[in-house]
Structure 1
Amino acid sequence: MSTAIPSSTVHDVEASPAGSARAGGIGALVATATFLFGIVLFVTQLADFTAPDTTVADSVAFLVDNEEVLFVGYAVIYLLFGLAIVPLVRALQQRLHRAEPELSAMSAVFGYIWVGLMFATGMVLTIGMGAVADMAGDSAQAQSLFTAIDTVGNGLGGGNELVGGVWILLVSRAAQRAAALPRWLNVLGIVTALAGIVTVIPALTEVGMVFGLGCIAWFAAVGRELLVRP
């Protein structure tokens, strides 16, 4: 009796890394789109909501008038982004694990933590902002709830970019050592990551814009690499 493994099974096993890379590449491009969407949304329709001189009362009033826009924005920026980077984290770990098993494993941990934080932030904000809108008739209560939800949301995923920065830094360093991605892309990743990490310092939170713009370029380039050279 033959014990040979069917050729279709061997093909499926061998093709799985390529399939993972394609899924990760698509995820990276979706992540790029969510960053672009967020930047455009916040400098256009939500400009008044994010202005530095906006008071809590102004924010609550804006939320009541634009609840649907805020819901879609937070769902895309946090929930869709979180979904998109799951296959990307997996694909990059597979790409790097043979040459850099320790770094790739550590990077995946931070990548999945970032996913969890994005989901938590998105759910807190989408559900919480709806609750604020429902309480709009009681101005004091609505403002108090808004402040609490905004603080929790910032603490989980909007106040600084430490976790995302550490993930990109570990991936870029592992890829640099393994020559798994182009050299320029690893340098871009390291610079972007450092810009995110320093946002833990209150005086440097504005550097988060550098992180956001760097992420757009990094996600787009990584997505292309995974699709073109799986």
Structure 2
Amino acid sequence: MNFQRIGGVCGLIAAGTYLFGIGLLLGVLEPAGYGGTDMVAQARFLSENQFIMYIWNLVIWILNAIVLVILALAIHDRLQQKAPAFSQVATSFALIWAGLVLASGMLSNITLGTVSTLYASDPVQAGAFLQSLTAVEEGLGGGNELAGGLWVLILSWGALRTEAFSKPMNLCGMLIGFAGLSTLFPALAPVTGAIFGLGFIVWFAWVGIHLLRN
């Protein structure tokens, strides 16, 4: 299997990590009490559900970051001859994004273990610690989508100019990119963040299938 096909497989896996994360969040975690504003209650939830939260972090952060790097490099190989400048700049942002995602996953795992230990002796302190670390995690990989938005926007713009990918795929990528940049504005973030995440499921799968077929 050549590197382009490996990149295609990674694109499908990336889409799968988003689907897994959303499905687990909506189908299991939120109904069980995850995601409220009471940090002490959230600390209790984490301490009682460590295993499933470790699995969730592993998939949506760690695995996603790994396949993102491979996919970005595979796309870079595809575009560098037709649009070298666009490809280089876009790939730089992709690697930055992957690093932020990976850092968020590592921080989430450390937070999970520490909160669980603190909660056994001091629930209030565990809640305060969780609140502080959650803000850091949001800043790294969840609160805004600047790096990911710039990657897909610049990549899709360059591919559109050179017809490296299909026009609908490139327009989809540009829409996702603008949605990602819009998350910098708190008033827009709830809507544009959803567009960014759901749009990337489609785009990852689309690019993955394209790389596998071509």
For Structure 1 versus Structure 2, the TM-score category normalised by the shorter chain is over 0.9
2:148 aligns to what?
A: 164
> Would the aligned equivalents of 1:27 and 1:86 in 2 still touch at CA under 8 Å?
no
SS in 2 for 1:45: helix
Aligned residue for 2:164, secondary structure, equals coil
| Matched AA of 1:218 | W
- Aligned-pair CA distance for 1:19: 1.5
Q: Root-mean-square deviation (CA), in Å?
A: 1.1
Q: Is contact 1:172–1:189 with CA below 8 Å preserved after alignment?
A: yes
String of CA shifts for 1:131-152, please: whole Å, max 9, x gaps.
Answer: 1001112112211211121111
1:26 equivalent in structure 2: 9
Q: Take 1:211 and 1:149, find their aligned partners in 2: how far apart are those partners?
A: 24
Contact 2:93 2:147 (8 Å CA) reproduced? yes
Distance 1:156 1:208 in 2: 15
* Greater relative CO, 1 or 2 (CA 8 Å, sep 6+): 2
- Which of these residues, 111, 122, 128, is aligned with residue 128 of structure 1? 111
Whether 1:212 and 2:165 are equivalent positions in the alignment is: no
Contact 2:44–2:123 under 8 Å retained in 1: no
Cα deviation, 1:124-173, whole Å, max 9, x if unaligned, reads 00111111001112112211211121111111001111111110111111
2:101 to 115, 118, 122: 118
Alignment of 1:65 with 2:48, yes or no, is yes
The answer on 1:79 being equivalent to 2:62 is yes
TM-score (norm 2): 0.95
Deviations 1:37-64 (A, max 9, x none): 011111121112124xx31112111111
Task: Kindly indicate whether the alpha-carbon contact (under 8 Å) linking 1:110 and 1:163 is maintained by their aligned counterparts in 2.
Answer: yes
Per-residue deviation, residues 93-125 of structure 1 (Å, max 9, x unmatched): 111111111110000100000111011000000
Higher Cα radius of gyration: 1
Do the aligned partners of 1:111 and 1:167 also contact (CA within 8 Å) in 2? yes
Equivalences for 1:6-155 in 2 at 5 Å? 19-47=2-30, 48-51=33-36, 54-136=37-119, 137-155=121-139
Give the match's secondary structure for 1:27. helix
Structure 2: runs of 5+ lacking an equivalent: none
Distance across 2 between alignment mates of 1:80 and 1:164: 16
Q: Which runs of 5+ in 1 are unaligned?
A: 1-17
Displacement of 1:193 after TM fit?
1.2
Equivalent residue pairs, number:
210
Corresponding residue for residue 185 of structure 1: 169
SS of 1:31 mapped into structure 2: helix
2:211 maps to 1:226: yes
Name the SS of the counterpart of 1:195 in structure 2.
helix
Q: Which portions of structure 1, spanning 4 or more consecutive aligned residues, are displaced by more than 2 angstroms?
A: none
Residue 218 (structure 1) shift: 0.2
- Residue 228 (structure 1) shift: 0.1
Counterpart code for 2:211: L
